[in-house]
Structure formats: C-alpha cells, structure tokens
Amino acid sequence: MSNHRQLSLEIIPRLAYSPDGFYLHSGISEVSRAVEKLLLESSFQIIKIKGSARSGKTHLSLYFADLAYRKMRFPRLLDGDQFASWIDQRMERSQIHSDEVIIVDDADSYLRNLRPGDSGPFVNFVEACRKKGAKILFLLNDSGEAFAYDEHVASRLLAGHEYQIAQPSDEELSELTLRLARQRGMSLTERHTQYLARRIPRNIEAVEKYLDRVSRMAQSSGAPVRMPLLSRAL
C-alpha cells in the first residue's frame, strides 16, 4: 500500500502561470529563501510580503503554493476577495491542520473591508492557526494605504514577519522581459530586448504594460511581433 498522502491543492489563480515563467531574480530571492524557511517551520507563522503593482506577487504566491505542495504541506491559495467567506466556511466545516499553508494574494481587498468591531472572524481564524502551528501568508500592494481595521487585527499582523519585493537588476530585467513575452505567446530575441532596454523604463510594471500593448496591437493588426511592431508600440 502506498504511503503517499492525498494532497488537496486549492488554487484559484487570476493570472496564467507556469513554473517556466517564474524567474527568481535578486529582488525576490532573499524574500523567497526567508519565507521558504518559515513555511517549513513546525511553529505558527504569519507573514506579509509587500510589492508594487505588477512586481510578481501573484506568481510568487503560486511559487510558494507549489513549494508547499512539494514539501508535503497543504497549500490553500485564495484571492483577498474570497478570504472572508472562506474563513467562515472553513471554521464551520473543519479544524485547521498543522501542515496547512494559507496563502492570500491581493490581501488588501480583504483588509480594506475590515472595520473596527469586525475583527472576530479574523482573530478566531488566526488563533486557530496559532494553536495548530499552521502558516498564513499575505501578499499586499506596497501602496501605503491606511486600513481601518481595529487593534485586534493590527496586533496580530504586527506580530508577524514582513518582507519587501524589490526590482530586478538591469541584466535580470532583460531575461525577465523574454519570459514575460513568452507568457504572452511572443518570442523576442536578445536584439529585441537590447532595443527595448534603451527605450522603456527599467521596471517590471513598465515592461508588462508595454508587452500587453504589443500583444493587443499584434492581435488587432495581425502583424508579426518583429521590430516594426515593437517600435510602433513604444
């Protein structure tokens, strides 16, 4: 009889993802190593990862879900909009397990709706996770937004670990551009990335917005993704 456990992977992604498309650049490598260590601890952990728009938070959440699955944990990957109803259903249905890893992408959308006096379900959930040694990972926008939740929520979040996603180096951004283009069904060359590096801002958000524009123009015009189209999209 097999000794392998039947694992349940609850993944509700908002973006297409494949392991080949994930690039562990220098801006997230230290974060990844630190969080990986925490996720494999036997004790309770609550972790916050902050990053700017399009900094790779969704891909990172899926990366950690894959990691937890490979390490024989039970990952639960949720969107912030789903988290409140999921907590209610989960607390009614069954107990939290020690090897659960609850990952909440776009957690801002959940925290934004918490008002003073609404903290009960969140506090009960966190304390249930603490008792069992489960892990909670929130991925948040680094927007400086001030939330209105009360001190019961604040104290539990402040007691956790917090990490910041940084931008990749210029050299890494060229490789990342190739991968981001591939995710959109486009094949760029090193010559293309060198051309773009001199013409678009050197950050992930700018690169993704540009590639989305190229993709839309290619689809609407039927033109191949070659230098003329790349130039017109600038």
Which residues of the chain are under the pLDDT cut of 50?
A: 1-15
Q: What is the pLDDT of residue 107?
A: 96
Q: Read off the pTM.
A: 0.81
Q: What is the pLDDT of residue 116?
A: 93
Q: Are 141 and 48 in contact (CB under 8 A)?
A: no
Could you tell me which CATH number the domain at 10-164 has?
3.40.50.300
Residue with tokens 């180096």: 169
- The C-alpha angle 87, 91, 93, rounded to 5 degrees, equals 115
- The C-alpha angle 3, 129, 77, rounded to 5 degrees, equals 70
Q: What is the pLDDT of residue 15?
A: 45
CA dist., res. 40 & res. 156, Å (int): 20
Residue with tokens 């959930």: 125
What six digits make up the tokens of 217?
């123009």
- The C-alpha angle 49, 55, 56, rounded to 5 degrees, equals 80
User: What sign has the CA pseudo-torsion 29, 80, 97, 122?
Assistant: positive
